[in-house]
Structure 1
Amino acid sequence: MKLNHLILLIFSLLLVSCSLDSAEDPLEVFREIAYNSLSSTEKSTIVGDWKKAEVSAWVDGNYLVIFQTTDSATRGPIRVVVDPDTGRVVEKLPR
């Protein structure tokens, strides 16, 4: 009987640890927040998969999400600053 409890306990711990490892990647969350802040016109100019946009550390603990667009060569990419604490867009940088 004690062996069954031990096996059940080990199995339960394994399930919990597996579910903790599958938490959503914060960079994906930042990309989605930034993408959702774009207008439909801006979204239509994005080149490639927006879910693979570059994300890098920015000032004050914020993150910068960079979307390459069809007019990146002339105007530059769309750059959105996201605050990870509030989950909100801080600003869109000038192009």
Structure 2
Amino acid sequence: MKKIYAVLVLLTLLSVAFSCSVEDDTDPLDVFREIAYNALSSDIKSTVVGDWRDAEVSAWVDGNYLVIFETSDAALGPVKVVVDPERGTWVEILPRP
């Protein structure tokens, strides 16, 4: 009987040790980047410079986030997409000059 308890204690300790050592390397802002990128047309996506997963994300008004994609079109500048984190959708694509 003592062997069963010892095995159960050992299994419990091992499961706790493994669950504590698992780290999540994902950036929570990646979800907002993906929502914003999917809001773009294919024409705009083709002008995005670099990896869209590296887009800048910052706080915006009303609890929303602003995702900024750098583009190759210097005359128009970057594309800025507003994302609502609660609904998980994009709100608007801000006008470019």
Larger radius of gyration: 2
TM-score normalised over the length of structure 1: 0.87
Matches within 5 A, 1:1-95: 1=3, 2-19=5-22, 21-22=23-24, 24-71=26-73, 73-95=74-96
Following TM superposition, by how much is the alpha carbon of 1:59 offset from its aligned partner in structure 2, in angstroms? 0.8
Q: Which runs of 4+ in 1 moved over 6 A?
A: none
TM-score normalised over the length of structure 2: 0.85
Q: Residue by residue, what CA displacement relative to the aligned partner does 1:68-94 show, whole Å, maximum 9, x if unpaired? A: 0011x3112100000111100011111
CA RMSD of aligned residues (A): 1.6
Unaligned stretches of 5+ in structure 1?
Answer: none
Aligned length: 93
The percent identity for this pair of structures is 58
For 2:29 and 2:21, locate their aligned partners in 1 and report how far apart those are by CA, in whole Å: 20
Unaligned stretches of 5+ in structure 2?
Answer: none
Q: Residue by residue, what CA displacement relative to the aligned partner does 1:22-46 show, whole Å, maximum 9, x if unpaired? A: 2743211100000011100000000
For 1:32 and 1:88, locate their aligned partners in 2 and report how far apart those are by CA, in whole Å: 10
For 1:23 and 1:61, locate their aligned partners in 2 and report how far apart those are by CA, in whole Å: 24
More helix per residue? 1
